[in-house]
Structures are given as structure tokens and as C-alpha cells.
Amino acid sequence: VASHSLLRVEGLDAWYGESHVLHGLGFEVRDGEVVTLLGRNGAGKTTTLRAIIGILRQREGSIQFAGHEIIRASSDAIARLGIGYCPEERGIFASLSVRENLLLPPVIRPGGLSLDQIFALFPNLRERVDSQGTKLSGGEQQMLAIARILRTGARLLLLDEPTEGLAPVIIKQIGRTIHELKRQGFTIVLVEQNFRFAAQLADRHYIVEQGRVVDMIENAVLDRNIDKLHAYLGV
């Protein structure tokens, strides 16, 4: 298992100023897997993604990606190794068109998808290519945010609550797209509150509580563990 893991996080601590938020958090993701981080609000899921991508600089422990130790690396260097981050707030440039939003981030590694490949995955975006960011629906913005990191050549995608605030029909569409990305060989870490959505996509679920991973549940046995999961999530 170890030799195939694309991302391995061990003993990760992270701070916002004086506030110590992650406490020895660990998990791993094998090449080609979809793994979720599940947990209550404030458990530390977003912070984990921000520490991995290096936006949060106050971090200690070990983060290995594709054989590189990246705990001391800059966010630029981490992105160039092939990790893409899609934040919960999506970060679409409102005054730019869909095409401009897609073309703005540089292609940093070989293997980035072409606009045609992106439009094959997101047909809605092809129709909206000249629309301004402000004119897009929440679902279209989310698709654009994911599409944008595919162009850079990232092969590990960190997606923070892509279903947040979206209608069920759009959530289904995003689910199909994530499934297709997995089929194409992308590796995905998904932060989710919506575990029904997560259950349709993920190979494994890591439960995050108070800055630690406290449990791991294989998706294949999720049904048998649903009471336990409810207790963790407080639903």
C-alpha cells in the first residue's frame, strides 16, 4: 500500500497565529483514489487542505506527495508538483469571461487538459464561454473552479465542498464529473458535509474531529457503519 500512495500526511500540526488547529493529523491517498474528509464544522478539514497546498505556512509534520516531502515547500513549488486546490469560495473572477477565467492560471505541468477536453467534461461551460463570471449560476461557478485547475496539469485535486449551496440536480452533475475525472486517472481529496454525495464517489472516508483523523471507513462497508458515521457528524 505504502509504495502506491500518492499523498501521505503524517503527524500534521497547523496553526493560525496562536491558535493550534491540527494535532497530528494523518491520512493517505493512493494513486487514482477518491478519498473524503468528513467531519463537523470547524473540525479542521479546510485547514488540512490549506496546509497541504502550502497556503497555510504554519505547519509541521510530514506531507509526502509523489515521493517528495513538501512540508517546507512553497505553495508555488507544491502546485508545480501537481496539486490543485479548489477552495470552497471558488475564486471565480467576476469581471472575466469563462474563457478568460480558464486561460488565466498558467499551465504549470505537462498533462494539463486543453479547452476542448475541458468542454467535453463540462458542456455547460462551452455554452457559457463568453459569459462573465457574475452571470454564472452557483453550479456553473463550481464547474469553472474545477475546470480551471484541470488546465494547470494538476493530478491531485483537493476539492473543498463542491456541493455547498447547490441544487440537487446540479449536485448530480458535479458527481458525474468527479466520477469521470476518477475514470481519467485523477486522484481526488474531497471535503464534504454531504456524505450521501461522498458515498457515491469515494473509495474511503476519513473522519476528522478536533484537528485529528479519528477513524477511517471503507466506502464498501459504509452502510454497516452508518450509525457510527451519524454519531461522528452529529446528524
21 binds ligand ATP (CB under 6 A): yes
DSSP for 1-15?
-GGGEEEEEEEEEEE
Q: List CB contacts of 159: < 8 A, sequence separation 6 or more.
A: 86, 146, 178, 188, 189, 190, 191
Minimal distance, residue 229 CB to ligand ATP, in Å: 16
With contacts defined by CB under 6 A, how many residues of the chain interact with ligand ATP? 11
**Alpha-carbon torsion 232, 210, 79, 104, what sign?**
positive
16 binds ligand ATP (CB under 6 A): yes
Minimal distance, residue 15 CB to ligand ATP, in Å: 9
141 binds ligand ATP (CB under 6 A): no
In the numeric block, which cell numbers belong to residue 222? 459504509
Place of cell 463537523: 40
Minimal distance, residue 56 CB to ligand ATP, in Å: 8
In whole angstroms, what is the distance from residue 20 CA to residue 142 CA? 30
9 binds ligand ATP (CB under 6 A): no
Minimal distance, residue 173 CB to ligand ATP, in Å: 22
153: nearest Cα among 99, 197, 205, 113: 113
String of contacts with ligand ATP for each residue 34-73, x by CB under 6 A: -----x-xxxxxxx--------------------------
Minimal distance, residue 98 CB to ligand ATP, in Å: 27
> Which spans of this chain sit near ligand ATP (rule: CB under 6 A)?
16, 19, 21, 39, 41-47
